[in-house]
């Protein structure tokens, strides 16, 4: 794969994780499990799960390990800088991601501006060092898989609650922990969303989404995802994420490290100049 194509692939991967880590940026306070009334709906549970506090901004290191069915493995490392706008001027969040590994992709950068539903379409840019050029990504790239892996925005990103019908399936205990089970089915067909339904296991105490099963449009189990969380200050953030395509056997493992919350990232950082300047630009 050429360096230009790797740069485009970086942008797709970055788009996958921008919204997922931000958890939509809607919550002002950490969610506390309420006294739920009898007859709770699936929509109420999903709303609470998508309103967990992610902090006002985050800096972190993302390490991906891709494992193929034949046992071969690949690795990718990135630095991520994310800011929560909480709907200010219609903006949900902004992010900048820089690739560190593999060596041939080092220096590639991605910038994304994400808007609240109904405000405007999200915007994304790539910096490709070999071209010394910033290019804007078309909308059609936002759901492409990364370099043969099975990671897509539908796997990781938060969907607008209004796009699906949410059915409360009941409760289940896994490894001694109590969960709500909710099934989410798209209200209408979307060519950029490849799933017929998604089933989520959401913890009853903290409303954290710990397990997700994705089904294809024929109703067959497609992918299984597990998420472990860590609390830092007053925010809940991902620690490790594993996604397995049960139809192909491909596994993707993500480790999140070197996390800093509420560091005071400025709006001025999200510019083409910073994208070209790399991670050091965030220390100025």
Residue 32: how many other CB atoms lie within 10 Å: 9
The full DSSP string for 204-234 is TTT--EEEEEEE-TTS-EEEEEEEEEEEETT
| Interacting residues of 96 by C-beta distance below 8 A, sequence separation 6+ | 80, 81, 82, 109, 110, 111, 112, 269, 270, 274, 275, 282
Q: Which pTM does this prediction carry?
A: 0.81
Contact criterion met (CB below 8 Å) for 55 and 261: yes
In the chain, domain spans: 3-32+39-279
Contact criterion met (CB below 8 Å) for 234 and 28: no
| Interacting residues of 186 by C-beta distance below 8 A, sequence separation 6+ | 163, 164, 165, 193, 195, 196, 197
Per-residue confidence of the chain (284 residues) as pLDDT tens digits?
A: 555 555 555 545 544 544 444 433 333 333 333 444 556 899 999 999 988 888 999 999 999 999 998 999 999 999 999 999 988 888 888 999 999 999 988 999 999 898 876 657 788 899 999 999 999 988 644 445 544 455 554 455 557 788 899 999 999 999 999 999 999 999 998 777 889 999 999 999 999 999 999 999 999 999 999 999 999 988 999 999 999 999 999 999 999 999 999 999 999 999 999 999 999 999 87
Q: How far apart are CA 182 and CA 42, in angstroms?
A: 6
Has domain 3-32+39-279 been given CATH number 1.20.1300.10?
no
């Amino acid at each position: 794969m050429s360096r230009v194509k790797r740069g485009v692939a970086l942008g797709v991967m970055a788009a996958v994780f921008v919204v997922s880590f931000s958890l939509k940026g809607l919550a002002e306070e950490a969610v506390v499990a309420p006294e739920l009334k009898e007859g709770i709906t699936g929509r109420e549970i999903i709303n609470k799960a998508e309103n967990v506090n992610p902090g006002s901004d985050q800096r972190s290191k993302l390490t991906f390990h891709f494992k193929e069915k034949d046992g071969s493995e690949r690795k990718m490392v990135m630095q991520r800088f994310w800011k929560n706008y909480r709907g200010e001027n219609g903006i949900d969040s902004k992010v900048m991601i820089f690739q560190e590994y593999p060596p041939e992709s080092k220096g590639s950068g991605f910038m994304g501006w994400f808007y609240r539903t109904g405000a405007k379409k999200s915007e994304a840019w790539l910096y490709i060092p070999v071209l010394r050029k910033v290019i804007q990504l078309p909308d059609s790239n936002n759901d492409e898989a990364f370099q043969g892996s099975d990671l897509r925005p539908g796997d990781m990103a938060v969907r607008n609650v209004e796009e699906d019908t949410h059915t409360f399936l009941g409760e289940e205990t896994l490894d001694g922990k109590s969960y709500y089970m909710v099934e989410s089915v798209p209200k209408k067909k979307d060519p950029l969303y490849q799933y017929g339904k998604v089933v989520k296991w959401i913890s009853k105490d903290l409303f954290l989404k710990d397990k997700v099963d994705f089904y294809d449009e024929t109703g067959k189990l497609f992918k299984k995802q597990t998420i472990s969380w860590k609390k830092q200050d007053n925010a809940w953030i991902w620690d490790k994420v594993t996604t397995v395509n049960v139809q192909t056997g491909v596994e993707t493992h993500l480790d999140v490290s070197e996390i800093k919350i509420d560091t005071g990232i400025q709006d001025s950082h999200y510019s083409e100049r910073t994208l070209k300047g790399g991670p050091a630009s965030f220390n100025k």
